[in-house]
Amino acid sequence: MLRLLLCLLVTVAGCTTRPPEPVRPGPPRLAAFGDAVRQNASGPGRADGPSPCDGRLAWVSDRGPETRILCVAEGERKRPQELTAAGTRVADPAWSPDGNSIACAVLEDGVFQIYVLTPDGKTRRRLTSGREGSRHPSWSPNGRRIAIEVQGASGSAVWIVEPDSSDLTFVSEGICPAWSPDGMRLAFQQGAPGTICTIRPDGSGLMRLTSGRDARQPSWSPDSRWIVFAQYNADRADDLWAVSNDGSRTVRITWDPAPEWSPSWAKDGRVFFVADRNGEQAIWAVSASNPEILK
């Protein structure tokens, strides 16, 4: 009888014990990147869409009904410079290779159009028009062409626009294009869940680099050997990863439980991104702590 009672007690205790919480895997002993550092750039509203260029950082400040593109030199504590006027909604700033222009998407009549701004914000020129919206500009290394996402009624596609003539050339179905620094290929996101692909600018040589994960928002490393992307889980941003340009290797870049997205790989090797840590959406950056892993 005593043995039966003990068995019943063990069974009841086992039924009422909560299952253990899933344990987040710890970083490897030799992580490719170190701890993230919050950037000094600050301003009103939530920060998004960072674009670094030679010691300067442009980003979008979201203040509810309007957004603005802000810019500041890294390390400066002064108030960021506002490059777009009040009352507008903008997105996706992208520096030109020479640092003399910023391409971005500006909301007009319910759709986004691609504009090119001067860094002082005093001059802007529209590159696209019509009912179809355009997002995510990415400059070619020589600054003569810009890859964009055109949002049509039947789906979104990657096109190339000539800043001097506004002529458009179709490349592939997909979104969020990113031009490689060597000019040889475009990375972009295709399908749902997202798959990172690359293609030549003439639309040939399509390669799919990721599978089994929801990969979005690609950005190339300065040597064109790696592509950083944001991984999503059930439409929620999770960590940042990088995939080699042939798809043979993947490397985890961040390990924080907070969501992280919109990565941008700078010329100096740092990866800038947006993270929602401690309830505040801000811009962070990580530096390579073990470059051997990326060789």
Is a pLDDT exceeding 60 seen at residue 10?
no
pLDDT (tens digit per residue) in 236-250: 888 999 999 999 999
Average pLDDT over residues 263-270: 94
Buried b (16+ CB within 10 A) or exposed e, 253-286: bbbbebbbbbbbbbeeebbbbbbeeeeebbbbbb
Q: What is the pLDDT of residue 121?
A: 76
Domains in the chain, please, with CATH? 30-294 (2.120.10.30)
Read off the pLDDT band of 160 (50, 70, 90): very high
Task: Report pLDDT for 6.
Answer: 44
Indicate the pTM of the whole model: 0.86
Residues 129-145 have pLDDT tens digits of 888 899 999 999 999 99
Query: Residues for the chain: how many in total?
Result: 295
More confidently predicted of 41 and 80: 80
Q: What is the C-alpha separation between 267 and 262, in angstroms, rounded?
A: 16
Per-residue pLDDT reduced to its tens digit, 110-125: 999 999 998 877 888 9
pLDDT for residue 188 is more than 60? yes
Asked if residues 203 and 171 have their Cβ atoms less than 8 Å apart, the reply is: yes
Retrieve residue 244's tokens.
Answer: 């080699």
